[in-house]
């Protein structure tokens, strides 16, 4: 391939990111943010979440140094998420949404150890829903190890994807009905996989619109 063409292709994503940031992120933050994005791209990490984090900081009126720090923290989480997926033997290559989903689970407070257990248990499918089911349970006061155990049990009964969120919701409902958390986990485990679905009813998309990115 022509070297100049290769250079243009390499620079193209950065220029696109830069044009999206210009005018929406303080100029003082742009060099730092661009450096992080360039580093992430060179390391095959997704850059879109970094652009979004910078835009979020700009929209919220955060000071430039805080924006650079937040984008750097996002990059570190993405790197950890990608490494956890690799370490757990999840088959690559990893989609941006997959890495981002694991990164968000980390941001929600799940430790690396728990994330590795879930990713290892899910194996052939994207771990996003399983991770967030564990994160939901953890957020409602269930122990993280017990939460992983319940979700892994649900996976073994054939539940997958968004249905794992139903498992977490069912456990929370049992607590709201007065059971202890241990009792709630046991109750839900006993009825697997017959967990009530909280699916979006038909017609919910009536009037739904697609959001647009990159306006003005």
Partner 1 sequence: MTRNLDLRIHRALDGELDRASLSPEELALVERLDAAAWALSDVPPVPGLAQRVLGIIRRPLESPLERFRRWVTSPHPVTVSLRPVYSVIIAVLLVALLWRSPASGPSLADHEGVAQFVARFPEAHSVAVVGPFNDWRPEATPLSDDDHDGVWDARVILPAGPHEYMFVVDGERWVADPMAGKYVDDGFGRQNAVMEVQPVRSE
Q: Which residues contact partner 1 (rule: CB under 8 A)?
A: 20, 24, 49, 52-53, 55-60, 62, 66-67, 69-70, 73-74, 97, 101, 104, 107-108, 128-129, 132, 135-136, 139, 160-163, 165, 198-200, 204-216
> Two tokens at 44?
């095959």
Q: Residue 22: beta bridge partners?
A: 25
**Coil, strand or helix at 129:** helix
Count of alpha carbons within 13 angstroms of residue 163, beta-carbon side = 14
**Of 48 and 186, which has the nearer Cβ to partner 1?**
48
Neighbours of 19 (CB within 10 A): 10
Q: How far is the CB of 109 from partner 1 (least distance, A)?
A: 8
Q: How far is the CB of 189 from partner 1 (least distance, A)?
A: 21
Q: Residue 177: beta bridge partners?
A: none
Q: How far is the CB of 12 from partner 1 (least distance, A)?
A: 19
Q: How far is the CB of 123 from partner 1 (least distance, A)?
A: 16
**Of 135 and 151, which has the nearer Cβ to partner 1?**
135
**Of 80 and 186, which has the nearer Cβ to partner 1?**
80
Closest CA to 122 of 104, 100, 102: 102
Hunting for tokens 């910078």 — which residue is that? Answer: 54
**Of 94 and 129, which has the nearer Cβ to partner 1?**
129
Length of the chain, in residues:
216
Q: How far is the CB of 112 from partner 1 (least distance, A)?
A: 17
**Of 6 and 96, which has the nearer Cβ to partner 1?**
96
Would you give the distance in Å from CA 146 to the centre of its chain? 21
Closest CA to 101 of 77, 68, 122: 77
């Amino acid at each position: 391939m022509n070297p100049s063409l290769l250079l243009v292709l390499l620079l193209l994503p950065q220029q696109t990111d830069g044009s999206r940031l210009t005018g929406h992120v303080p100029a003082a933050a742009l060099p730092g943010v661009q450096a992080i994005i360039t580093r992430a791209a060179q390391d095959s990490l997704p850059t879109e979440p970094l652009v979004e984090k910078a835009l979020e900081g700009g929209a919220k009126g955060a000071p430039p140094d805080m924006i650079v720090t937040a984008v750097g923290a996002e990059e570190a989480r993405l790197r950890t998420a990608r490494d956890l997926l690799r370490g757990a033997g999840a088959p690559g290559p990893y989609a941006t949404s997959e890495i981002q989903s694991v990164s968000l689970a980390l941001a929600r407070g799940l430790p690396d150890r728990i994330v590795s257990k879930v990713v290892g248990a899910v194996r052939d499918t994207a771990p996003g829903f399983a991770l967030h089911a564990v994160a939901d349970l953890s957020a409602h006061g269930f122990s993280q190890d017990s939460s992983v155990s319940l979700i892994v049990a649900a996976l073994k009964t054939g539940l997958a994807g968004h249905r794992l969120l139903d498992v977490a919701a069912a456990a929370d409902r049992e607590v709201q009905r007065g059971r202890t958390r241990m009792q709630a986990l046991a109750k839900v485990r006993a009825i697997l996989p017959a967990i009530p679905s909280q699916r979006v009813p038909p017609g919910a998309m009536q009037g739904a619109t697609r959001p647009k990115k990159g306006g003005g």
